Structure 1
Amino acid sequence: MSPSHNRVYAADAARLMGAELDCVARALLPDGVGDVTPVQVAGVDYLGFETAAPLTGDRLRAVSVLSGIQALYQREGDLLRPVALERPDRFGSDLVTIPKYQGKTNEQFTRTLLTVTAMAGAWPERYLDGTMTVLDPMCGRGTTLSTALTLGLDATGIDLDGKDFEAYQAFLTTYLRRHRIKHRATTGAVRRQGKTLGRRYDVELAADKADYKAGRLQHLTYLNLDTTRLEGLLPAAQTNVIVADTPYGVQHGSHGDRLDRSPVDLLDRALPGWLRALRTGGTIGLAINRHVAPRDDVAELLTRHGLTVVESGGYGGLRHRVDASIDRDVVVARKG
């Protein structure tokens, strides 16, 4: 497993990665996995698991997508035989790790949230081949957006905070230029019925110059506006996955307009607009602070909005402590 720079998160890393592996296996490994347990070999910690068939092809690609995987070995007696990973990543990890700021969500957890949410939907294989579309309607400074780009996915982000919008726009534009990644970036206003509601930042890009020339592009859009006022602004039923790191009710986790709203009340107001964009068979994954958004309350809210909460397997094992004020959990639900 990759070491985590967050000490508290690292303490739960093996358990959380085991839950993530269970979610991936249920979706993409027909025979599943068995006996997922931490093991130690020569003083080094690993996560061990059993499979009914060798990890090759699509099975290997499924395991390679795990957020915390550093290297994979097949155990042969007392020896470990390296197995080359087949990651879907199209950009380096620095696209996600370079931005540093107070309150940034752990990058490994962001990828975990996106992965387990994608696995609960009707098209988990799209997470591996780059054809999945992602919406983060509370995207802040864009950790989810950059994670989606890294995986080769199209992404849309929404946030009301103008400073976050400007920070992400400046970072991504600079990153693409410095790495000489072929792209086209535009900015403009978001209007509805002649009224300006906010700003937008659109990027077309490709990790490979040949792909860019051939029109095989990734697309990113960041809308700087109120996430509760999306009617008519997003294409209907075009999104495969929605993920959101909801307000935690503490200063470093939420800011601006969000501080004046209960997280559950805010979700209740925002969900209709989000769900209009979600395809039938699509999923929504919410990271919550159980101190201010109890899991049962969030699950009941999602059910009331016509979704089916996923509780089985690894989806019930993603709770962990961030600090004394944040008891974080993940709630995933499916549309239709």
Structure 2
Amino acid sequence: MTRYALLILPAANRVYARSAVDLTVAELEIFGRFALDGRIGELDTATVGGASYVTFAGDGLTERDVALLGNLSSGYALFEFVGELLRPVEWSRLDRYDDDLLTIQKYPGKTNEQFTKLLLNVTLLASAWAGELTSRRFRVLDPLCGRGTTLNQALMYGFDAAGVDRDQKDFEAYKAFLVTWLKQKRIKHRVLESGPVRREHKVVGRRLRLEMAPTREEHKAGRLQSLDVVNIDTTRSGEFFKPESVDLVVADAPYGVQHGSRTAEHGLMRDPLALLTEAAPVWARLLRPGGALGISWNTHVAAREDAAAALAAAGLTVVDDEPYRALRHRVDQSIMRDVLVARRPV
């Protein structure tokens, strides 16, 4: 059986870097179990030439398998063991745009880009289309999108992206960034809607809708990606998006400090469990059968069992396989982040 060594991508965030190896092992096991028919095993770590690697055995990995693994959130390079030597393995990523789409924005509370990619990956791998990462155009909704890190990762993959956030400043900042970035990169795009949404002569929200393509050829051929972001409370997502219209719901929940959700009934909620209890049924209705929801949150303010119960009450089936339980990691002294993924039954 062939053995491989995965070199971990250096992380600018030193705290996340300390967790990266364990998270990569868990993510790799999830890839193997849900997309590669269990053909990955014997996961371990090794130091070769002073560098740390995650090692694994791959039973007859195909070109398609390697292409899937090219999208590991912390994967930097893949090698095959040849005796005691390492031979580079050619692999490719889905990335359709320059990486500054993800890295150029800097602001307090921004989710680490590598973790954002991991959360999107493990959610997709829990869906009914786990093996179609490189071939299907998924539609991804982030119902707590902030300034769009998850939306940008979805666009980077070639997916369609939708987002909701109640903070008008974040909405305006993301709109300004993305439209400016598209113009500066000379990426073909068309803004379909930008500004207030009025119903019965009242402003009920703000919306940005656009179409884009990474090349002029794809734009001309009509192979367009869509982006749709709405500045409303997340519990009103169903007013702007149709039921069963998204494949994946991916969210980094409020940590109880900078983010929250305002509703007429409860006012501002900084408790992620209260938010999840109220919003999860709304999000679940937007998922197509077979779709998956992935959420991360601070376990110091909500227990995993309680969060899982809220998703189950919304009609979703929690994915509690062992590798998903290994995604918990420390963000800082006050935040222990965990990941919970659930499917909508087919």
TM-score by length of 1: 0.95
Aligned-pair CA distance for 1:151: 0.5
Contact 1:23/1:313 (8 A) holds in 2? no
**What is the CA–CA distance in structure 2 between the aligned matches of 1:287 and 1:296, rounded to whole Å?**
13
Q: How does 1:192-231 map to 2 (within 5 A)?
A: 192=199, 195-231=202-238
Q: Which residue of 2 aligns with 1:324?
A: 333
Contact 2:195/2:206 (8 A) holds in 1? yes
**What is the CA–CA distance in structure 2 between the aligned matches of 1:221 and 1:51, rounded to whole Å?**
39
Q: Which residue of 2 aligns with 1:188?
A: 195
The question of 1:286 aligning with 2:295 is answered yes
Q: Which residue of 1 aligns with 2:4?
A: none
Q: Which residue of 2 aligns with 1:315?
A: 324
Structure 2 counterpart SS, 1:231:
helix
Structure 2 counterpart SS, 1:129:
coil
Aligned-pair CA distance for 1:125: 3.1
**What is the CA–CA distance in structure 1 between the aligned matches of 2:195 and 2:175, rounded to whole Å?**
12
**What is the CA–CA distance in structure 2 between the aligned matches of 1:236 and 1:296, rounded to whole Å?**
27
Return the match for 1:163 from 144, 165, 169. 169
Return the match for 1:20 from 27, 36, 41. 27
Q: Which residue of 1 aligns with 2:5?
A: none
Provide runs of 4+ in structure 1 moved above 6 Å: none
Contact 2:308/2:340 (8 A) holds in 1? yes
Q: Deviations over 1:155-214 (max 9, x none)?
A: 100000011001111111111111111001230333456543100001100001111011
Moved more, 173-182 or 118-127: 118-127
The question of 1:62 aligning with 2:106 is answered no
Q: Which residue of 2 aligns with 1:147?
A: 153
State the Cα RMSD in Å: 1.5
**What is the CA–CA distance in structure 2 between the aligned matches of 1:219 and 1:174, rounded to whole Å?**
17
Contact 1:134/1:154 (8 A) holds in 2? yes
Q: Which residue of 2 aligns with 1:232?
A: 239
Given residue 279 of structure 2, which amino acid in structure 1 is its aligned partner?
Answer: A
The question of 1:116 aligning with 2:122 is answered yes
Given residue 317 of structure 1, which amino acid in structure 2 is its aligned partner?
Answer: A
Aligned-pair CA distance for 1:272: 2.2
The question of 1:299 aligning with 2:308 is answered yes
**What is the CA–CA distance in structure 2 between the aligned matches of 1:104 and 1:293, rounded to whole Å?**
21
**What is the CA–CA distance in structure 2 between the aligned matches of 1:140 and 1:218, rounded to whole Å?**
20
The question of 1:174 aligning with 2:180 is answered yes
Aligned-pair CA distance for 1:250: 2.6
Q: Which runs of 5+ in 1 are unaligned?
A: none
Distance 1:273 1:192, change over 3 A: farther
**What is the CA–CA distance in structure 2 between the aligned matches of 1:192 and 1:11, rounded to whole Å?**
49
Contact 2:281/2:315 (8 A) holds in 1? no
Structure 1 counterpart SS, 2:234:
coil
The question of 1:52 aligning with 2:59 is answered yes
Q: How does 1:31-50 map to 2 (within 5 A)?
A: 31-50=38-57
Instruction: Give the paired residue count.
Output: 333
Contact 1:189/1:199 (8 A) holds in 2? yes
Q: Which runs of 5+ in 2 are unaligned?
A: 1-7
Q: How does 1:56-135 map to 2 (within 5 A)?
A: 56-135=62-141
* Percent identical: 48
